[in-house]
Amino acid sequence: MKRPRKMTATRRDLGVGDTGQDVVKVQKSLGFPPNACDGIYGSVTEAGVQGFQAAWGLTPDGAVGAATWDALDTLDARMRHGDPGLDDALIQQIAQLASNSALARYSWEDRGMTPAGYTQGMALCFALAIRSLEAENPAALIVAQADTHRPDTDALSWYADEMRDMGWDNSRDGVDTLRHLWCLLIGLGPRESSGNHWEGRDMSASNTSADTAEAGLFQTSWNIRSCATDEMELLFDTYMNDPQGFQSQFNVETSPTTSNLDNYGGSEGTTYQWLSKFCPAFHVFVTAIGLRRLRQHWGPINRQEVELLEEADDLLKQVEVMIAGYEPTPKPPPEDVATVSIEISSTGPVEVIVNGNPLAGS
């Protein structure tokens, strides 16, 4: 007797004015924070779909049809099977540490307090940078390099006097220099985006080509890749295939707007703009490399407007201690693999048969 074929339900096309759980599904796939997943297909959802479509090589009509559903399914699968690079329990501990820190309550000059998720996300990215440095990842080796004494290109050299006044020594490769760069990064975010990873380009600027349009926490554009092409392209490919980037933490107290979600151009730079906003960790690491190789990319850096805070250094030191003392939880075996325990008490020769086949060495 033949079994009936399993039928796949056809999903409806969606556009402005539609409501329902399938709209919620689209909003979640786009990475919207919970407060923006309301099931109402309004202008923000339309802009999010258009930005996604432009980044993924689809016609940016703002409606969800079969091709867009397929692309969203691909993105969902990459998120579902991705690896953030840190154990879930460690992520929770670091996020809690950051939330309770003095840095999270700091009011930045002319900017006020950043979203709570900014401090959490930046602390997590620092933890991931430490893990990457331990693994001798090429990008991590660049950002943890000692002061190059090249103030025209290296932000640590450009800020050498200020960091010396803070008592921060960047004369050696390693985690101390990495931490001081991260303090600079943390201070740059409030100047460029007020700590909102959804930030799109400066609408008063005329740089609207795919490679020059600004995006993300630090308003870094994709032409930055020229300063470290191999490392930047590797980061791009890695995070496109696995876009886990502490999105849920960075999302705390943030929401995208229609202008945030637009992505300009029609090439890799367009995809870069989308990925910078969808996957904040990617944008953080791109900017970290840029600060060491092309510091003149950012106005607030050039004008030395970025605040350097002991509160940032203190938090990151605590993250270091937490990582050093953390014991990862063993991962359970896959559900489809049976675990069998065998005890043999015989003193003579033994042959073990598994699924009808002798086990080698038995």
Same domain membership, residue 238 and residue 95: yes
Q: Is residue 356 part of a domain?
A: no
Q: Is residue 217 part of a domain?
A: yes
Q: What is the pLDDT of residue 339?
A: 46
For residue 354, tell me if it sits in a domain. Answer: no
Q: Tokens standing for 320? A: 């270091």
pLDDT at 362 over 60: no
Question: In the structure encoding, which two tokens stand for residue 81, read together?
Answer: 């099977």
What pLDDT digit, counting tens, does each position of 52-92 carry? 999 999 999 999 999 999 999 999 999 999 999 999 999 99
Euclidean distance between CA atoms 126 and 155, whole angstroms:
18
Is there a single domain that holds both residue 67 and residue 180? no
Residue 289 in this model has a pLDDT that exceeds 50: yes
Q: Are residues 105 and 74 in the same domain?
A: no
Q: Is there a domain that residue 352 lies in?
A: no
From residue 350, alpha-carbon distances to 295, 307, 340, 354, 358 in Å are 68, 71, 17, 13, 10
Confidence class of residue 336 from pLDDT cuts 50, 70 and 90?
low
Give the chain's end-to-end CA distance (angstroms, integer): 43
Do residue 162 and residue 40 come from a single domain? no
Same-domain check for residues 216 and 275: yes
Pair 37, 54 in one domain: yes
Q: Using CB atoms within 10 A of its CB, is residue 325 exposed (0-12), middle (13-18) or buried (19+)?
A: exposed
pLDDT for residue 330: 64
Average pLDDT, the chain: 91
Whether residue 147 is found in the same domain as residue 50: no
Mark residue 149 as left, alpha or beta (left: phi above 0; alpha: psi -120 to 50; beta: remaining): left
> Does 50 share its domain with 117?
no
65 and 110 belong to one structural domain: no
What residues make up the domain containing 176?
A: 88-324
349, pLDDT greater than 90:
no
**201 and 57 assigned to the same domain:** no
135 in a structural domain: yes
Do 300 and 268 belong to one domain?
yes
Task: From 80, 98, 126, give the residue that closes a domain.
Answer: 80
- Structure-token match 């930045």, residue found: 108
Q: Tell me, yes or no, whether 14 lies in a domain.
A: no
Residue 334 has pLDDT above 80, yes or no: no
| Last residue in a domain, options 63, 80, 97 | 80
The structural domain count of the chain equals 2
Residue at 179 is within a domain: yes
Predicted confidence at residue 337, as pLDDT, reads 47
Query: What confidence tier does 7 reach under pLDDT thresholds 50, 70, 90?
Result: very low
Is residue 3 in some structural domain?
no
pLDDT, residue 173, reads: 98
For residues 63 and 38, membership in a common domain is answered with yes
